[in-house]
Structure 1
Amino acid sequence: MPPYIHLSSHGLTSYLISFLKFSDKNSKDPTMACKLLCLLILVTFVSQGYGCDRSNLTLKQSKTGNLYKDVTEWEVRVTNPCPCDFKNVKLTCTGFKSVLPIDKSVLSKSGKDCLLINGQSVGYKSDYVFRYVWATSFNFKILDATIACP
């Protein structure tokens, strides 16, 4: 995956507008201005993080191989491949239980939902991992998250 490059949309906009003016005067191809304008819009959206949404977050579970009193330990990994952070990540947790208690700063349950890390950010190219102990894996799903772009 290529590294994320933060672009200043204002600086890029100024550059492309001056390029469009130059192209208009020196080109016989009227579609060039349209292509560059489309490129400008696309780059502006991407630089502002509009290419990211909650569906970019992934959640995977696996057995750790550890047992607690003959009960399986599970690892949950939430990964953010997006150049923006996600905060207030909420997971489904109806009926969720663990033999060992989970610190509320890691996963706090409220009704049918759970809030991950007290609503703090899951950053770009980072994983947030927590573990629980239960006989079977729980069907966690990402319900909601707030995008936070720089």
Structure 2
Amino acid sequence: MATTVVKLLLTITLVFFIILFQGTNGVGCGTSSIKVQTVNTGATVAGGGDMVFEVEVKNLCPCSVRNVRLDGGGFSTTLGVDPALFRADDGGVYLVNGGGPIASMGAVRFSYAWDHYFQITPRSLEVDGQC
């Protein structure tokens, strides 16, 4: 009996260290790993009066991710947004960072101007290689 318990404990310890040193290969890195935060900066666009909002798209996954796509919720802007950071992809879906990688805990930021806030939510992503 004692031998069985010791073998079980050793197996559990071995599995723990394998996961610790090899990583999770992106397991658990879904859309909930992408945090989209929009803040009203308090500024307005000259001449138009539209409010300026700053958006931060942050990767909370322990792995780098790429091809992050967001639902735009009817997104529109009177302020130019760098298409390398955020651009229309297809049918109200927007591509972040040109589809390039966003490191773990990394963020992409852009600003837009409109008369109201848009609900922007994560739609899809790909885990970038091994982690």
State TM-score, norm by structure 1: 0.72
**1:69-99 deviation digits (Å, cap 9, x = unpaired):** 3211111111123321010000002521001
Superposed CA RMSD: 2.1
Equivalent residue number for residue 57 of structure 1: 34
Partner-residue secondary structure (3-state), 1:30: helix
CA shift in 2, pair 1:114/1:95, >3 Å? same
Which of 107, 129, 135 is equivalent to 2:86?
A: 107
State the distance in 2 between where 1:43 and 1:61 align.
Answer: 39
- 2:45 alignment partner AA: Y
CA shift in 2, pair 1:34/1:60, >3 Å? same
40-49 vs 125-134, which moves further: 40-49
Structure 1 residues 1-150: aligned runs within 5 Å: 28-45=2-19, 47-54=23-30, 55-69=32-46, 70-109=49-88, 110-148=90-128, 149-150=130-131
State the distance in 2 between where 1:30 and 1:66 align.
Answer: 67
TM-superposed CA distance for 1:62, in Å, is: 0.7
- Between the two proteins, the alignment pairs up a number of residues equal to 124
Q: Tell me which protein shows more strand as a share of its residues.
A: 2
Q: Which has the higher contact order (CA 8 A, sep 6+)?
A: 2
TM-superposed CA distance for 1:107, in Å, is: 1.1
From the CA coordinates, give the structure whose radius of gyration is larger. Answer: 1
Contact 2:73 2:118 (C-alpha < 8 Å) held by counterparts: no
State the distance in 1 between where 2:84 and 2:25 align.
Answer: 28
Which runs of 5 or more residues in structure 2 are unaligned?
A: none
State the distance in 1 between where 2:92 and 2:16 align.
Answer: 38
Q: Tell me which protein shows more helix as a share of its residues.
A: 1
**What percentage of residue pairs aligned between the two structures are identical?**
21
State TM-score, norm by structure 2: 0.81
Which runs of 5 or more residues in structure 1 are unaligned?
A: 1-26
TM-superposed CA distance for 1:50, in Å, is: 4.1
**1:32-79 deviation digits (Å, cap 9, x = unpaired):** 322332343344345134454122221111111221032111111111
